[in-house]
A and B are shown apart, each in its own frame.
Chain A
Amino acid sequence: MALPGKIPRARGRGYYYLWVGVFFVIVIGLISMLSYATQKIDYTWRWYRIPQYFVYHDQVEYVAEIDGEVERIDRKGETATVVVSGLGLTETYEMPAAGVQVDKGQRIYPGDILGIHGRWRVGILIQGLWLTLKVSAIAIVFGILIGLFAGLFRISDNPALKWSAVTYIELIRGSPLLVQIFIWYFVLGTLINSLLAKGGIVQVPPLWFGVAALATFTGAYVAEMVRAGIQSIHRGQTEASRSLGMNYFQSMRYVIVPQALRRIIPPLAGQFISLIKDSSLLGIIAIRELTKATREVVTTSLQPFELWFICALLYLVLTFSLSMLLQYVERRTLAQ
């Protein structure tokens, strides 16, 4: 197969393997340079410390608060109820049956351990990853909806709709996402939450302003893609659907938009991958997504090299999975 702009030339196998070899030499060279440099500054790699930020084993202790003795232990399936009484007081403690450390009638002092229960908990990096995933997923869904309508308004004949869409798209595309996040959080967020407070209604947590910033930002780009996608559908499709008696909305909904959406899946995938990466900016408004979580762990663990590599890798896992998913969707829809 000829590459664009190239005319294939007959070359031996040796040529191919030589340059594959060169590639690996470059990669290995870069890695060893990095590790040599870190040795020079006496950085100790401690990869074994990283797993605890993914999952860790946590021990919960059930501690007696009063003086007395164990009056009885009721075991009901997995859970046990330990009743302690003395000096006219009675306390009951519930804990997993397997972890009970005391016997009936045992003398108890305040601070004694009645039972221990160990369990696995997810670490801060996984929590951050989960939050990044959640924020991105919600922003993608709303971004698609906003973008779809803004894109349709953009090509509408109605000046109110058209100009609103143009203004929205140009405003969003013309300013940095970071500034938009600040506006959502410090301006709109303050306004909304102050008004809600006056009305005595619950406050909107920062997470939602972050999601709103990402969704409106993505929506503007999606709108332009939707517009281009719709305009790329042949006029004949509109004429055929309208000549069957469909009105504008029916023709859009059943004929034009489905075809346009299929066509814009590849650029949409790129936009959504950007969105996942851009969600790292939300750390600045106190949302503990993956990047902020990593920063917090770095300050406590003092293992920045490992952690930042891991952080990048986790983003790569997210973006790569999304890219695979959308490629699958694209193949599915184009296969028909």
Chain B
Amino acid sequence: MINVQNVYKTFYVPHKVQALVDITTNVAAGEVVVVIGPSGSGKSTLLRCLNQLETADSGHILIDGIDVMDPKTDINKVRAEVGMVFQSFNLFPHKSVIENITLAQMVVRKRSKAEADQKAMGLLDKVGITDKAAVYPDQLSGGQQQRVAIARALAMDPKIMLFDEPTSALDPEMIGEVLDVMKTLAREGMTMVCVTHEMGFAREVADQVIFMDEGAVVEVGTPEHFFTKPEHDRTKLFLSQIL
């Protein structure tokens, strides 16, 4: 479903940073991959290269067989198939909850308002906040906002979902409600790439864990592997800090 081959990315402003160094990884359909690593290790950059919010310098990225780095590819089409959930939610503050979820359905998928509304209500039910359809995002708690953001991405019927630290801006008591939604998605067979340090989540649903450091993939394995016998010293050090 996702094939990343020898991807490099360097930032030159404000100073030279090698954000991604020779990344190669594959994610099969229905697989859940958790990406972990210290701050600045390039996790977000990797995720953002997948849907071209960031352009990699070299290498190949295939999403469902389509080379997203090929200039001839209609990137908007690919993005509609790849949902993304951000650390800071990024809901549209001038739109109500339901409008947040219906906007792209109508604009991109060209669905009728009735169709989009119906879809949105179904998804709000799924993430457990049907009673907030008419309110504006700033009246919601962080956990509720993030669940709306997930519903917004799901409304496009994506084949892949990307999560960039979806719970790290949340108060501890709200983390669970967001993770529950993500676990449900994972069990339903969604292909997911999640940057998260919630190791409980990784243990429960991840098929693969990728540990990154300084722009490179250091270690890849099952959650079991990481919890029981991590190989590299850097991995051990990192895990000892977050667990």
Contacts and interface: CB of A to CB of B under 8 A. Distances in A.
7 contacts: A241-B92, A243-B79, A244-B153, A245-B76, A245-B77, A245-B81, A246-B108
A262 to B, nearest CB: 7
Interface in B187-212: none
A205 interface: no
Interface residues of B, number: 27
A: interface residue count bin: 20 to 34
A336 interface: yes
A61 interface: no
A246 B90 contact: no
Contacts of A237: 90, 92
A13 to B, nearest CB: 40
A244 B161 CA distance: 11
B98 interface: no
Q: Which 3 A-B pairs have the closest CB atoms?
A: A245-B80, A240-B90, A244-B104
B94 A245 contact: no
A236 B93 CA distance: 12
A230 B96 CA distance: 21
B2 to A, nearest CB: 15
Contact of B86 (A236, A245, A333): A236
A259 B93 contact: yes
Interface in A290-336: 333, 336
Interface in A176-234: 234
B41 interface: no
Contacts of B140: none
A255 interface: yes
Contacts of A121: none
Contacts of B96: 336
A262 B90 contact: no
Contact of B80 (A236, A244, A333): A244
A255 B99 CA distance: 11
A247 interface: yes
Contacts of A106: none
B155 to A, nearest CB: 8
Interface string A231-261: 0001011011111111100100011001100
A236 B86 CA distance: 8
B103 interface: yes
A308 B51 CA distance: 64
Contacts of A247: 76
A236 B108 CA distance: 19
Contact of A262 (B81, B83, B94): B94
B28 interface: no
A243 B53 contact: yes
Interface string B64-79: 0000000000001101
Nearest to B84: A243
B79 A242 contact: yes
With most chain A CB atoms within 10 A of its CB, the pick from B51, B53, B86, B94 is: B94
Given A236-B86, A236-B88, A243 B51 contact: yes
B151 to A, nearest CB: 12
B84 A255 contact: no
Nearest to B109: A245
Contacts of B84: 239-240, 243
B63 to A, nearest CB: 13
A259 B91 CA distance: 12
Given A244-B79, A245-B76, A336-B136, A254 B90 contact: no
Contact of A246 (B51, B76, B136): B76
Interface in B96-139: 96, 103-104, 107-108, 136
Contacts of A241: 92, 104
B9 interface: no
Contacts of A255: 92, 103
Nearest to B87: A236
Interface in B148-182: 149, 152-153, 156
Given A244-B153, A245-B76, A258 B90 contact: no
